[in-house]
Amino acid sequence: MNLLEKLDAAAAARKALLPNGVGAFGIPIEEIFSATEARIGDRRVLLMGTNNYLGLTFSPECIRAAHEAIDKEGTGTTGSRMANGSYFGHRALEKEFADFYQCSSGIVFTTGYQANLGTISGLVGPGDTVLIDGDSHASIFDGCILSGANIIRFKHNDMADMEKRLRRLGDNIETTLIIAEGIYSMLGDQAPLADIVQLKNKYGGILLLDEAHSLGVLGKTGQGLVETTGLLNEVDFITGTFSKSLCSIGGFCVSNHPQLEQLRYVSHPYIFTASPSPATIASTRAALELLQKGSHLRDKLWSNCRQLYSQLQEVGYQLGPDPGPVIAAVVATPQQALLLWKQLLEHNIYVNLILPPAAPEGKSLVRCSVNAAHTTEEIRYVGDTFAKLYGAISTQT
């Protein structure tokens, strides 16, 4: 098989799984109206599948900051942080992230994906070990591959399995990086951070926590899982993204280890890419301020989350173990998932469809993401629609 034939074979396998699945992935959004509404085809839909957890995509403060930055600094930096791409805003945002997490240093990356790639591949290399959760996000896994370290996975959130693997590391624990996530993006469940920290303290290793989905969502000031658990000082490195609750694009890593600064000189995903545009940095800075002050947004977000989670649970949908902004209905087959996804769209609700192999353990998911800008009525409409479709979905084979 030549290279192009291999792609044809992969495309054929995809089409065999979902013969009527055309359009489910990469759906064209024709117009975007607000944090919760868009036009798809000729439908005005309710957006229930974005990562806009605090609903800040149209916040006047962020928009104004972005406009001003474009006017003052132009559309792009046209260069790497290593060369001509470190403007005042990049450095200020790094300081603001470090202060937010009470850390001595912070680094801004061009995407959250690169924050994980760059941090992981900067911290470990060939001969070292990464111990990662089995449900880790692709950016974590790809960072591990890029590093050349030995990759050992423990079963998702299974502390007995994690402990077994820590014990088996023996002296290699000295050069081991442990990685977990604040909120896992597939089922919306949280890492058992207190247990992870306890095991880290017993066996050793360095701990990195990706707060991509928990930043702005968990904790009084929105720091994430480190705040709700009170374990900020026990985590060595925190990464996260601007693309979810901060409503722009980019990523960061903060730490109290002064060695973090060295990553700027060794980490290819930091060096060999252009720095975020001035508008991106400016809107992120404005959003970070709103996020810290946004406990009213978090209250609204969580009340929406609880409302939808309990309604779907009552109807009989199988959900992830914790209520939260990511609420995934686990269905038996890809066909059921596609049917549910399509029917929801017919009812003007856009959610995410996740099929094997993207979802863990061969599961098929119809995933909702709740945000603070959804009204109680909108959440009720989504819950009622899921309820109405339950019968048809569960009898579909």
Ligand X SMILES: Cc1ncc(COP(=O)(O)O)c(C=O)c1O
Q: Which residues bind another protein (CB under 8 A)?
A: 129, 144-145, 150-153, 165, 168-170, 362
CA–CA dist 151, 54 (Å, integer): 34
* Under rule CB under 6 A, residue 251 binds ligand X: yes
Q: Which two tokens mark 225?
A: 């899982």
| 31 DSSP β-pair partners | 39
Which listed option, another protein, ligand X, none, makes contact with residue 152 (CB within 5 to 8 Å by class)? Answer: another protein
* Under rule CB under 6 A, residue 280 binds ligand X: no
Give the pairing type, strands 37-40 and 31-32. antiparallel
* 252 contacts 60 by C-beta, under 8 angstroms: no
Which of these ranges, 5-13, 86-94, 188-196, 209-217, lies near ligand X under the rule CB under 6 A?
A: 209-217
- What is the residue type of 389? L
* In the complex, minimum distance from the CB of residue 209 to another protein, in angstroms, rounded to a whole number: 21
Q: For ligand X, which residue of 135, 181, 227, 236 counts as binding (CB under 6 A)?
A: 181
Q: Which two tokens mark 64?
A: 């104004």
Q: Which is nearer to ligand X, 212 or 301 (CB)?
A: 212
Which listed option, ligand X, another protein, none, makes contact with residue 59 (CB within 5 to 8 Å by class)? Answer: none
Other CB atoms within 10 Å distance of the CB of residue 230: 11
Q: For ligand X, which residue of 139, 229, 284, 307 counts as binding (CB under 6 A)?
A: 139
Which listed option, another protein, ligand X, none, makes contact with residue 170 (CB within 5 to 8 Å by class)? Answer: another protein
* In the complex, minimum distance from the CB of residue 169 to ligand X, in angstroms, rounded to a whole number: 24
* In the complex, minimum distance from the CB of residue 152 to another protein, in angstroms, rounded to a whole number: 5
* Under rule CB under 6 A, residue 57 binds ligand X: no
The torsion defined by the Cα of 17, 19, 47 and 293, in degrees rounded to 10, comes to: 20
* Under rule CB under 6 A, residue 179 binds ligand X: no
CA–CA dist 65, 60 (Å, integer): 8
* Under rule CB under 6 A, residue 320 binds ligand X: no
* In the complex, minimum distance from the CB of residue 157 to ligand X, in angstroms, rounded to a whole number: 14
Q: Which is nearer to another protein, 164 or 388 (CB)?
A: 164
* Under rule CB under 6 A, residue 283 binds ligand X: no
* In the complex, minimum distance from the CB of residue 395 to ligand X, in angstroms, rounded to a whole number: 33
The vertex-119 CA angle with 114 and 124, nearest 5°, equals 130
Within 8 A by CB and 6+ apart from 170, the residues are: none
* In the complex, minimum distance from the CB of residue 110 to ligand X, in angstroms, rounded to a whole number: 9
CA–CA dist 84, 275 (Å, integer): 9
Q: Which is nearer to another protein, 145 or 249 (CB)?
A: 145
CA–CA dist 206, 203 (Å, integer): 10
Which listed option, another protein, ligand X, none, makes contact with residue 153 (CB within 5 to 8 Å by class)? Answer: another protein
* Under rule CB under 6 A, residue 212 binds ligand X: yes
Q: Which is nearer to another protein, 117 or 297 (CB)?
A: 117
Residues of span 225-244 touching ligand X by CB under 6 A = 241, 243
Q: Which is nearer to another protein, 10 or 32 (CB)?
A: 10
Q: Which is nearer to another protein, 95 or 164 (CB)?
A: 164
* In the complex, minimum distance from the CB of residue 323 to ligand X, in angstroms, rounded to a whole number: 18
CA atoms within 13 A on the CB side of 314: 10
Residues of span 101-130 touching ligand X by CB under 6 A = 111-113, 116
Chain residues in the site for ligand X (CB under 6 A): 111-113, 116, 137, 139, 181, 185, 210, 212-213, 241, 243, 251
